[in-house]
């Protein structure tokens, strides 16, 4: 989906900022819904089956969300990386080139998303895994276009811009493999893994995606897209789950 989103750059076609913000908002809404209905709720259910306590289940979910969000926040603050819009963040990059700083930024963003999909499938619920993969895939399409267009703006050729945008999505299967492996270590890892992935995704949505949709003056379109995506994914998750 990251590569599919980047295809227009091969023809030097671009998407209006209004459409981009609206689609990115839609994807954020889908991911918020997936975080709750495909990660947190199954995580609570798995913990309750294991420990037979609603209070303990809630505390495990709360701790998992905090740990997931906290880890991404720490990575975001400590690893040197750069966003094309907001500029450099994290530690002093030293001799790292701008393109590698950008690769690190995409890694921070995409790795927890892949892990969430892996945990969703690894828990044995194909419906949850598919809904997560759908939501994250929808988010990756406009992201792939944004990366390719930004690279073109930095002077890279069409093929190289497309290729680099495509490569940024390859970190997600790595995260997915880790997620599957974690939930197969022990059944007790499942509720922790699901809530951890939810926390990581919610941090990315709040810290990266939503602010991105509010920078160009089209926040009303972005909010409408977010609500549409959230409602659509909620209905699909409940009806199919």
In this structure, what DSSP letter does residue 201 have?
A: H
The total number of structural domains that make up the chain: 1
User: Helix 126-153 and helix 219-240: axis angle, to 10°?
Assistant: 160
Who wins on pLDDT, 231 or 216? 231
Q: Is the pLDDT of residue 60 over 90?
A: yes
**What pLDDT score was predicted for residue 101?**
58
> 93 has which bridge partners?
none
227: Cβ–Cβ under 8 A, 6 or more apart, which residues? 29
Q: What is the C-alpha separation between 74 and 53, in angstroms, rounded?
A: 31
pLDDT in tens, 69-81: 898 888 777 766 5
> 89 has which bridge partners?
81
> 81 has which bridge partners?
89
Closest CA to 111 of 43, 41, 240, 208: 208
3-state secondary structure of 52: coil
For the residues of 113-182, what is the DSSP string, one character each?
Answer: HHHHHHHHHHTT-HHHHHHHHHHHHHHHHHHHHHHHHHHHHTT--HHHHHHHHHHHTTHHHHHHHHHHHH
pTM here is 0.70
**What pLDDT score was predicted for residue 24?**
78
pLDDT in tens, 218-230: 899 999 999 998 9
State the residue range of the domain holding 98.
Answer: 2-240
Q: What angle do CA 168, 20, 74 make, to 5 degrees?
A: 45
- CB neighbours of residue 169 within 10 Å: 23
**What pLDDT score was predicted for residue 138?**
76
Contact criterion met (CB below 8 Å) for 202 and 35:
yes
Question: How many angstroms from the chain centroid is the CA of residue 158?
Answer: 25
Q: Is the pLDDT of residue 120 over 60?
A: yes
Question: How many angstroms from the chain centroid is the CA of residue 145?
Answer: 15
Q: What is the mean pLDDT of residues 16-42?
A: 82
Q: Is the pLDDT of residue 29 over 70?
A: yes
Closest CA to 46 of 34, 58, 33: 58
State the burial class of residue 50 (Cβ atoms within 10 Å of its Cβ: 0-12, 13-18, 19+). Answer: middle
């Amino acid at each position: 989906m990251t590569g599919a989103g980047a295809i227009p750059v091969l023809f030097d076609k671009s998407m209006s900022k209004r459409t981009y913000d609206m689609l990115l908002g839609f994807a954020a809404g889908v991911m918020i819904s997936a975080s709750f209905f495909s990660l947190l709720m199954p995580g609570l259910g798995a913990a309750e089956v294991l420990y037979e306590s609603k209070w303990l289940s809630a505390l495990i979910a709360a701790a998992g969300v905090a740990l997931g969000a906290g880890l991404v926040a720490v990575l975001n603050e400590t690893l040197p990386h750069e966003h094309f819009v907001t500029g450099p963040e994290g530690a002093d990059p030293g001799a790292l080139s701008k393109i590698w700083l950008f690769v690190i930024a995409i890694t921070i963003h995409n790795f927890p998303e892949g892990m969430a999909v892996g945990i969703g499938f690894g828990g044995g619920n194909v419906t949850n895994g598919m809904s997560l993969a759908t939501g994250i895939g929808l988010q990756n399409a406009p992201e792939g276009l944004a990366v390719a267009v930004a690279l073109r703006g930095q002077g890279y050729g069409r093929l190289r811009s497309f290729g680099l945008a495509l490569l940024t999505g390859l970190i997600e299967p790595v995260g997915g493999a880790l997620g599957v492996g974690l939930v197969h270590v022990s059944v007790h890892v499942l509720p922790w893994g699901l809530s951890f992935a939810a926390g990581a995704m919610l941090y990315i949505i709040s810290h990266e995606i939503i602010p991105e949709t509010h920078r160009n003056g089209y926040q009303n379109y972005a909010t409408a897209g977010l609500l549409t995506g959230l409602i659509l994914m909620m209905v699909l998750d409940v009806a199919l789950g």
